[in-house]
């Protein structure tokens, strides 16, 4: 169940900063621990930068969510870029094409509780991550 959702276009470096700020604000509102706030903001920063650099820009939607047990934050990163040709390679630990924080997709995946990716060459990429309150 979504409580509220906020969407930001990602077209410039300043938009990546705005994504980080929004994620931090929503993480504080959701009462994530400081460690989990930091993990989520770090993952969001990497994924927003990927949206800009590799996807040519797109959107980021940040939502507070709740399931039967707990509350959390879901973030959807979407672009209409070239897609990821070799997803298995892109998800390999340590794989990066340069730039960003050097975390790569695998590093971002380790920082969140749920990570899903939809991509196809020529069809863009959508990555959905969720961090749950402890």
**pLDDT tens digits for range 78-134:** 999 999 888 888 888 776 666 555 578 998 999 999 999 999 889 999 999 999 998
| pLDDT one-digit tens code per residue, 26-52 | 999 999 999 999 999 999 999 999 999
Contact yes or no for 51/120 (Cβ under 8 A): no
How high is the pLDDT of residue 41?
97
CA dist., res. 33 & res. 9, Å (int): 27
Do 100 and 20 contact (CB within 8 A), yes or no?
Answer: no
- C-alpha to C-alpha distance for 46 and 99, rounded to whole angstroms: 10
> In whole angstroms, what separates CA 88 from the centre of its chain?
18
Residue 24 has pLDDT above 60, yes or no: yes
Q: What local confidence, expressed as pLDDT, does residue 102 receive?
A: 57
* Confidence (pLDDT) at 87: 85
Which residues lie across from 126 on neighbouring strands? Answer: 78, 118
Structure tokens at 127: 């990555």
Dist CA 14 CA 21 (whole Å): 11
Band of the pLDDT at 3, cuts 50, 70, 90?
Answer: low
Nearest of 51, 48, 27 to residue 130 by alpha carbon: 27
Can you list the positions of beta strands (E) in 14-107?
58-66, 71-79
């Amino acid at each position: 169940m979504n409580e509220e959702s906020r969407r930001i276009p990602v077209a410039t470096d300043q938009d990546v900063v705005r994504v980080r700020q929004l994620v931090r604000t929503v993480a504080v509102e959701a009462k994530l621990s400081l460690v989990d706030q930091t993990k989520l903001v770090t993952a969001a920063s990497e994924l927003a930068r990927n949206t800009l650099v590799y996807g040519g820009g797109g959107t980021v939607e940040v939502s507070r969510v709740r399931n039967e047990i707990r509350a959390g934050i879901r973030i959807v990163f979407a672009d209409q870029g070239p897609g990821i040709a070799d997803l298995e390679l892109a998800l390999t630990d340590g794989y990066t094409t340069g730039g960003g924080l050097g975390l790569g997709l695998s590093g971002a995946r380790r920082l969140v509780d749920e990570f899903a990716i939809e991509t196809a060459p020529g069809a863009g990429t959508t990555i959905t991550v969720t961090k749950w309150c402890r």
